[in-house]
Structure 1
């Protein structure tokens, strides 16, 4: 019987030696017992290989490795078995009296000291992790020596052994794609997205703490590997549409921010900065960052590049990038960086030239307008805004047009120029498809004797959209103006979703137009009932009938319509149920 204790007897010497070498060199990147006796490991060889081992007590019942070796047992399985045996030996529950004596003699400790140590060990075996964490947090907050010892134990300033963060982080991703073989069958991997996200977050937290403790190289290594692993394993269908909606772009941002902090730190060696730049350029070439909108790697590369290079080198680089990305949407970021570098170099004339050259970019114009407003240079700001409106209209950037108009309005309000305020509110009313806010502002500013004529002209200039739900601007204005003839004319002329509009606004016309509104309801509801089947539609019909009942003369009209429907649609039991209340 092959067991975890004697398996070496059944393995070819050459394979056994290689497996031992793999285990001794730390090639077993991750190992865990997923369920009693079911072990999974990732072993680093020519590639990363996944190994599964099933134990029945000490007996090795099954094993599987996805490497190409076609023999009975490969070196990766051997390394995994050694790791399992070592892992199990560390988790024996209690020491025998003989073992206690042996340890006492070897370590020179008293029996009482060993017992105390063992008591702590045994407590740690059953205490819940969250309660243990709570205790440690509370104890550390009031015992500075314990806090210092804790930090030094897990984040030493001078670690005795170099941690292979790259392999550790990569193994987190490799464990996603476990090849589960059992009795000759293959099972699709089950990916625990929350677990993966938690692992990445823990490494980012550790990297941040390492950065705070001046372990700059280790912090950078973790951040770089997170970006590299996400880039290497990102599959849009898996990562973007996973059940937990985990956004790995956030992890990329965290890693990128940390790398920037490292390269900008005063104690970071130039060699480390250049190494970070070299690696991030290679990561940026990965298909993930080129093909998917997961993270703006180009922006990170540029920021690191400009932080690593001298000011003159950075200026040359940014000029080259501006030429290459002349038509790119984020060109403004490069221009802003160029302006900052020129300012640091004291090249004032070139700063002004650059600003003038790129004023067509809204982001650059926005910065200049802000400076003018801070200095209360209103006339210059107005000129720059009007020029920006012309440029934005030519480019079809209506959102920018509205932004500049709103800024002009705020300036005119600051200057108390009523005529200009009215004109800007008029333009913004038209631009926003009849915003009620600008309607109210205009009504408060335009003389009352001129208001009706002014509003009529304004309504004709404005394109209104026939949307329903929270409210329709055109209908709301007619209601506020108490112009019920125009409200009725507007509702009766609608061709799309008129029932919704009638249901929403008929109550305002009840006193003046109920006899005209009810036929519109009746015609539209007949058409709706004829064309639509299903419980949801029948519930809607009932809701419309309730609204009709509230109108003058509505009860009789509803009664006749319901009787008509009961005859026409008697084979629709769900509709008959909904009409039961009538």
Structure 2
């Protein structure tokens, strides 16, 4: 969440606020560095030293990050301490200092930003000093060397993809354990290191050095795809690098660069597909999609058609390959040839969407309805989610025809089935059902939802009650499933009129939760809900719960510690 700089106290939990103020007053905040206008970084000392970064724009703290492990709320005490430091003059706060002695502690009018300090040094350092610095760092620091070589690749007469393959392999080797495996934490380090190469590739694109960017991108794609076989990429750091490199190639292809670059990329796409470098991944089809952008000759077109015919290993591959071929035909053979191919492969969901959209644009509603209904019949058994999409198309067709009866029929079906699409089916129904019939209509929807007996029905019914502002019925619904998450989710809708009832629900939920939960994480969670009770104005009830928990679980030391913090 964003925080108003001058009113941040109103948006932060009181306990966190107090701890942050205490840290500030005890002098745990080192003088923040202004990295660039409005961007600050500071070290906050505690059990360990943590780095806080925050961005201030137009009186709003738009971003704030701390590398501490706190995850019980949006803002930690370290961030708060830094904000207090930046606001100390405005708030007239006095703090202990960890800076220089008194005679040196005169505050400068304006500290230079890091960027300004760097610019000043670059102006003053000699050419030889800078060269010596780069040589020294490049010989000792592998990440720096890789970044330097990729950033100035256009000046390297020996530049090739092999140069960057070697760099990526070096990064991967450094992160691997003795068995050659890259664990979860090391994968993140790999991602960060390769991000530097990606940044270099982006700079090459910005400077129109497309050849260098192609070499960097293809090297990253190949080596990082291979690395997925021997790494824990739970966070997507490695796969994300492949995606980013692929997107860069796409960007270059769309830049309409030279014929040399076009041939370089399209040949790479054909070769990597034939060698099955990305087999089993989306990028296997992706290189054909990329090649399709760059086709110029009949020979190239025939070559990609042969490769498309080979790409039939799964339903996904088949449908994607057919979609690529359809677009190629549209571009090279014309609309009639493409239309014929589309009709021959209408079971392809991508092509069916295209056909329905075209029929709608031509106002050929009969054909559009036929295609959508055929899709329902074809996909209902094996792909029910896709069948609902065809119902959504039927709704769009009815809307184009302004057919209220069909609009209500399809919107009602899709709402009850909880199909999530870009349309608000409930609002569509409200616009088309007559006002005097609306309440009866809604009750009928609720009964139909209840009769289905699905786990998601409570949330769907609750959404109706919220839209209609039937708060008494929403409260009764929450009482039927009074777990803490449910109470928390609907509190904002009920606290205004039913604060006492919500407090009782929270109280009972906390006691029940504590019977079956042990461990500091669970105790912190329970205390979070106790704080919610306090915020609802029921401090006495919160004290009762705290007293009960202390008496009931006196040997749970961690619980006692967390209760002390409430």
- Scaled by the length of structure 2, what TM-score is found? 0.55
> Does the Cα contact within 8 Å between 1:393 and 1:401 map onto a contact in 2?
yes
Hey, what does 2:512 align to over in structure 1? 527
Structure 1 equivalent of residue 374 of structure 2: 387
Q: CA deviation at 1:308?
A: 6.4
CA distance in 2, matches of 1:249, 1:313: 25
Deviation of 1:426 after TM superposition, in Å, equals 0.6
Partner of 1:498: 483
Residues 229-308 of structure 1 aligned to structure 2 (within 5 Å): 230-231=221-222, 234-236=226-228, 237=230, 240=233, 247-255=241-249, 258=252, 273=263, 281-284=270-273, 289-290=278-279, 293=281, 296-301=283-288, 304=291
Using the alignment, how far apart are the partners of 2:200 and 2:304 within structure 1? 35
Matches within 5 A, 1:89-100: none
Matched ranges for 1:138-153 at <5 A: none
Match for residue 167 of structure 2?
172
> 1:21-62: per-residue Cα shift (whole Å, max 9, x none)?
xxxxxxxxxxxxxxxxxxxxxxxxxxxxxxxxxxxxxxxxxx
Once the two structures are overlaid, the 10-residue window that deviates more, 352-361 or 480-489, is: 480-489
Among candidates 308, 316, 334, match of residue 321 of structure 1: 308
Residues 164-207 of structure 1 show CA distances to partners (whole Å, capped at 9, x for unaligned) of 5355434434554789xxxxxxxx99987656554465467558
Distance 1:300 1:383, change over 3 A: same
Deviations 1:135-166 (A, max 9, x none): xxxxxxxxxxxxxxxxxx9979xxxx964535
| 1:325 to partner: Cα distance | 1.0
Q: Deviations over 1:298-327 (max 9, x none)?
A: 442576489668537735862673365174
Q: Structure 2 matches for 1:470-485, cutoff 5 A?
A: 472-479=459-466, 481=468, 483=470
1-side partners of 2:334 and 2:524: how far apart? 72
Matches within 5 A, 1:114-153: 123-126=126-129
Measure the CA separation in 2 of the matches of 1:507 and 1:209: 52
Q: Any idea what SS the aligned residue of 2:279 has?
A: helix
Corresponding position of 1:432: 418
Contact 1:207–1:222 (Cα < 8 Å) also in 2: yes
Counterpart position of 1:378 = 365
Preserved contact between residue 502 and residue 521 of structure 1 (Cα < 8 Å)? yes
TM-score, normalising length: structure 1: 0.53
Query: Aligned partners of 1:229, 1:382: CA distance in 2, in Å?
Result: 46
Return the offset for 1:550: 9.0
> Structure 1 pair 320/567, CA: closer, same or farther in 2 (3 Å)?
closer
CA distance in 2 between counterparts of 1:563 and 1:282 reads 72
Q: 1:155 to 1:501 in 2, by over 3 A?
A: closer
Q: Distance in 2 between matches of 1:287 and 1:313?
A: 19
Aligned equivalents of 2:550 and 2:202: distance in 1?
Answer: 67
* Deviation larger for 520-529 or 200-209: 200-209
3-state SS of 1:325 partner: coil
Distance 1:543 1:172, change over 3 A: closer
Tell whether the 8 Å contact from 1:306 to 1:314 is kept in structure 2 after alignment: no
Q: Deviations over 1:508-540 (max 9, x none)?
A: 779999998887666544332222234443454
Residues 315 and 333 of structure 1, relative CA distance in 2, 3 Å threshold:
farther
Matched, 1:568 2:555: no
Structure 1 contact 260–303 (Cα < 8 Å) conserved? no
Matches within 5 A, 1:53-72: none
Which 10-residue stretch deviates more, 536-545 or 453-462? 536-545
Could you say which residue in structure 2 is the equivalent of 1:365?
352
User: Partners of 1:408 and 1:388 in 2: how far apart?
Assistant: 10
> RMSD of aligned C-alpha atoms?
5.4
Number of matched pairs: 409
Separation of aligned partners in 1, 2:199 and 2:539: 64
Contact persistence 1:311–1:345 (CA under 8 A): no
- Structure 1 Cα separation of the partners of residues 505 and 400 of structure 2: 49
Per-residue Cα deviation, 1:236-266 (whole angstroms, up to 9, x for no partner):
256957997671432244346647989x96x
Distance 1:238 1:286 in 2: 22
CA contact 1:434–1:474 (8 Å) conserved in 2: no
Shift of 1:370: 2.3
1:502 CA drift (Å): 3.7
Structure of greater Rg: 1
> Structure 1 unaligned runs (5+)?
1-119, 131-152, 180-187, 213-218
Q: Secondary structure at the match of 1:254?
A: helix
Task: Measure the CA separation in 1 of the matches of 2:161 and 2:540.
Answer: 79
Post-superposition CA distance 1:529-569 (Å, at most 9, x none): 222234443454455456668999x8887676555444322
